[in-house]
Chains A and B, each alone.
Chain A
Amino acid sequence: MGYVAIADRDHEIEHHDPQTFISKYVWSQDHKVIAIQYGCTAIFVGLIALCLSAMMRLQLGFPDSFSFINPENYYQFVTMHGMIMVIYLLTALFLGGFGNYLIPLMVGSRDMVFPYLNMLSYWVYLLSVIILLISFFVPGGATGAGWTLYPPQAIMAGTPGTEWGIILMLASLGVFIVAFTMGGLNYITTVLQARCRGMTLMRMPLSVWGIFIATILGLLAFPALLVSAIMMLFDKTLHTSFFMPAISSAGMDPGYTGGSPILFQHLFWFFGHPEVYIVALPAFGIVSDLLSTHARKNIFGYRMMVWAIIAIGGLSFIVWAHHMYVSGMNPYFGFFFATTTLIIAVPTAIKVYNWVLTLWEGNIHLRVPMLFSIGFIFTFLHGGLTGLFLGNVTIDLPLSDTYFVVAHFHMVMGVSPILVVFGAIYHWWPKITGKMYNETLGKWHFWMTFLGTYAIYLPMHYLGFQGVPRRYFAMGNTDFLPASAQDLNAAITVSALFVAAAQILFFVNVIWSLKKGPKADPNPWDATSLEWQTPDTPPKHGNWGHDLPTCHRWAYDYSVPGYADDFIPQNVPPDIAPVGRDHEEDH
Chain B
Amino acid sequence: MPLAVVLILLVVGSVVFHLLSPWTFTELASNWGLIDFTIDVTFWVTGTVFVLVNLFLAYCIIKFRYKKGARATYEPENKKLETWLTAITAVGVAAMLAPGLFVWASFVNVPEDAIEVEAVGQQWHWTFRYPGDDGKFGEVDAERITDENPFGMDPDDPNGQDDILVYSAEAHVPLDTPVKFLLRSKDVLHDFAVAQFRVKMDLVPGMETFLWLTPTKLGRFEILCEELCGIAHHTMRGAVVVDEPEDYASWIAKQSTWAQDSMKAAGNAQVGAAQFAVCAACHGQQGEGMQALNAPKLAGQSSWYLKRQLQNYKSGTRGAHADDVFGKQMAPMAATLVNDAAIDNVIAHIETLPDNPAPSTVAGDVGNGEKLYRVCSYCHGADGQGIRAMNAPRAAGMSDWYLARQLENFREGIRGSHLSDYYGFQMGLMASVARDEKAINDLVAYINTL
Contact = CB atoms under 8 A, between A and B. Distances in A.
Given A342-B97, A356-B53, A394-B103, A158 B188 contact: yes
A350 B75 CA distance: 17
A377 B57 contact: yes
Given A392-B42, A401-B226, A247 B64 contact: no
Interface stretch (B3-11, B155-163, B298-306): B3-11
Given A248-B186, A475-B234, A559-B73, A394 B100 contact: yes
Interface stretch (B81-89, B242-250, B272-280, B283-291): B81-89
Contacts of A327: 202, 204
A152 interface: yes
B228 A485 contact: no
A451 interface: yes
Contact of A359 (B57, B146, B183): B57
Interface string A333-372: 0110011001101100110111011011111111000010
B72 A559 contact: yes
A356 B60 contact: yes
B82 A301 contact: yes
A153 B189 contact: yes
A485 B187 CA distance: 32
B78 interface: yes
A300 B378 CA distance: 58
B57 A476 contact: no
Interface in A239-267: 245-253, 258-262
- Report, as a range, how many residues of chain B touch the other chain: 35 or more
A485 B435 CA distance: 23
B100 A156 contact: no
Interface string B86-119: 1001100100110111011101100000000000
A246 B207 CA distance: 10
Contacts of A385: 46, 49-50
Contacts of A335: 101, 104-105
B186 A158 contact: no
Interface string B116-154: 000000110000000000000000011101110000100
Nearest to A360: B60
A82 to B, nearest CB: 11
Nearest to B97: A342
A246 B60 contact: no
A466 B25 contact: yes
Interface stretch (B14-22, B165-173, B258-266): B14-22
A150 B72 contact: no
Contacts of B56: 356
Contacts of B429: 473-474, 476
Contact of B57 (A159, A326, A332, A374): A374
Contact of A253 (B100, B143, B202): B143
Interface string B11-48: 00010010001111110000010110011001001100
Interface stretch (A65-73, A101-109, A213-221): A65-73
Given A258-B206, A303-B77, A343 B93 contact: yes
Nearest to A159: B230
B252 interface: no
A398 B220 CA distance: 18
Given A246-B206, A262-B204, A350-B85, A332 B38 contact: no
B224 interface: yes
A364 B71 contact: no
A394 B34 CA distance: 9
Interface stretch (A21-29, A171-179, A457-465, A497-505): A457-465
Contacts of A480: 26, 195-196, 221-222
Nearest to B87: A346
Contact of A261 (B71, B78, B189): B189
A145 B75 CA distance: 51
Contact of B64 (A246, A338, A363, A474): A363
Nearest to A345: B93
B188 A152 contact: yes
Interface residues of A, number: 120
Contacts of A146: 228
Contacts of A250: 123, 187, 387, 389-390
A385 B224 CA distance: 27
A561 interface: yes
Contact of A474 (B45, B67, B234): B234
A70 B100 contact: no
A556 to B, nearest CB: 8
B193 A378 contact: no
Contacts of B430: 71
B233 interface: yes
A200 to B, nearest CB: 16
B62 to A, nearest CB: 10
B65 A364 contact: yes
B342 interface: no
**Which residue, of B24, B45, B75, B231, has the highest number of chain A Cβ atoms within 10 A?**
B231
B446 interface: no
Given A156-B188, A339-B101, A350 B89 contact: yes
B338 interface: no
Contacts of B77: 300-304
Nearest to B146: A251
A566 interface: yes
A462 B66 contact: no
B227 interface: yes
A362 B60 contact: yes
Contacts of A582: 71
Interface stretch (A41-49, A290-298, A420-428, A570-578): A290-298
A406 to B, nearest CB: 12
Nearest first, the 6 closest Cβ-Cβ pairs linking A and B are A245-B206, A251-B389, A467-B195, A158-B230, A153-B188, A328-B209
15 contacts: A67-B435, A158-B230, A262-B207, A298-B76, A304-B77, A334-B104, A345-B93, A350-B89, A359-B64, A366-B1, A381-B53, A394-B38, A398-B25, A462-B21, A475-B234
Given A260-B207, A363-B64, 17 more contacts: A153-B189, A156-B187, A260-B206, A297-B74, A300-B77, A301-B76, A326-B201, A361-B73, A361-B75, A366-B61, A392-B38, A395-B42, A469-B224, A471-B234, A473-B233, A477-B417, A479-B419
Interface of B: 1, 3, 6-7, 10, 14, 17, 21-26, 32, 34-35, 38-39, 42, 45-46, 49-50, 53-54, 56-57, 60-61, 64-67, 70-78, 81-82, 85-86, 89-90, 93, 96-97, 99-101, 103-105, 107-108, 122-123, 141-143, 145-147, 152, 183, 185-189, 191, 193, 195-196, 198-207, 209, 220-222, 224-235, 237, 372, 374-375, 378, 387-390, 413, 417, 419, 425, 428-430, 432-433, 435, 439
